[in-house]
Structure 1
Amino acid sequence: MTYETSEPAPSAGTGGPTWDGHRPRWNKVPEVTAYFWVIKVLCTTVGETAADLLAGKAGLGLTGVSVLMSALLAAVLVAQFRTRSYRAGVYWLAVALISVVGTLISDNLADNMGVPLETSTAVFAVLLAAVFAVWYRRERTLSIHHIDTVGREAFYWLAVLFTFALGTAAGDLVSERQNLGYWLAAVLFALAIAGIAVARFALAMNAVLSFWIAYILTRPLGASIGDYLSQPSADGGLGLGTVVTSVLFLVVILGLVIRLSVTRKDTRLSERADRS
């Protein structure tokens, strides 16, 4: 399922290197296919269960886990920025780690600092909107089909981080404060994503807008699924535990990423003429 289509190339003055009109440019992110959405949801689930696992059973606490995972994310993002084109293994490892870090940012604000979920949700929404505003003002597009300069990639990963933090806070606000339970919350978020898909394909909703809304909603969807599988039955879950759930989803992610690395079904070669 593809939510986003390619947009016209940015005009002159948007930054980035100059390219020959016939020279190919490799996008730094994958094509938006069914694989993309499946792995994205799986990564968000791992982000939820891995954060709980490391903070609880590993005994690191929220602060210790936050420092460790932030350092790992920084190292992987350095590797991602140094790649000359999209590499499935590096890219999805960055997404998985940023899922954990985004979860931890929201959890630290709520649990360690006592920030209400209503406040953190509003703050993350404003920050994400600010990132999009600056990104669009500079590049004249928010399309992920043009993540082919350092500047655009920086905006992209910053936006992804805030979508995870926003999705975590908003998901917790809806599922916990409204006492919906994990399974009902997952159904609710899945229906919301389905509604966005209908609006996109049946009502011609803007492709970029629908993509980013769906991207945000996959975070609480994945978290609700992860909580449902891992939490004890007394709390409304299946009781698989964070270890089993994390390992299970990591194995599936690894299998899909290996397949994509071999088949390159999610690689897009884009070209744009130099307008300067």
Structure 2
Amino acid sequence: MTLLSVRGLSVEFRSGVRAVDGLDLELDAGAVLGVVGESGSGKSVTSLAVMGLLPDARVTGEIRFAGQDLTGLGQRALRRIRGNRIAMIFQDPLSCLNPYYPVGFQIAEAYRAHRRAGRREAHHVAVRMLDEVGIPEPDRRARAYPHEFSGGMRQRVMIAMALCLEPDLLIADEPTTALDVTVQAQILDLLQGLRERSGTAIMLITHDMGVIAGLADDVVVMYRGRAVERGAVREVFYRPRDAYTKGLLACVPRVDGALPLRLPTLQAPVEEQASLETPEVTP
């Protein structure tokens, strides 16, 4: 069953910059959709448009969630969905967490914002969620402040906050950025485990093709605000059709071959690319 359907989405800012241009994508309930592309391709703007967090931009097209068109809703109606049925993990957890309040309080307040719950019940939920995302001594750490956590632990706090209301859709915008490979693997395992237990659909936004390969079912490749390729991850990775997708994949270091001395680049828009050549490497 289709949970999120985006048709003809365009986002234009007051400066005249069109960050997203006629984007289509679909995400089924319980599935993981990877949205991949280099910085500036429109990935994060797409996620903010879905969340209704671009009040100063001109957003056109159709965004349907569980059959309801979100683009026609007012801010009050959106707030009832945002955080409740659609949650988001932002790129930088430290900038998203309030430095003046303990993390447990912040998770509890997110829960109370959508549930008629008392402080004691909300605190218990916060501690339980910290435990579920693998933070040791959750009762004690709930009283700690964001600066007392490592980058990986802060990301776990953000995941706990996003999932405390058991949303139908989780949008993860670069959830492993600036994390070392060990912590990155832990975060991906955490997302996969939560998906399997709760059935939450995940829209995973990243520039890392390895992250997509490890977690996503389907992938949409974005370039200049457009989807240049889409399909099952295995199909796109092993038989890419678009020149830009081939370029992204060629930039991924491989353990079974030599690393190119010069990475391939695109000299023109994707639709004008007849082919993308990778220079030979002399050992």
How high is the TM-score relative to the length of structure 1?
0.28
Q: Identify which of structures 1 and 2 has the higher relative contact order when contacts are C-alpha pairs closer than 8 Å and 6+ apart.
A: 1
From the two aligned structures, give the one with the greater strand fraction: 2
From the two aligned structures, give the one with the greater helix fraction: 1
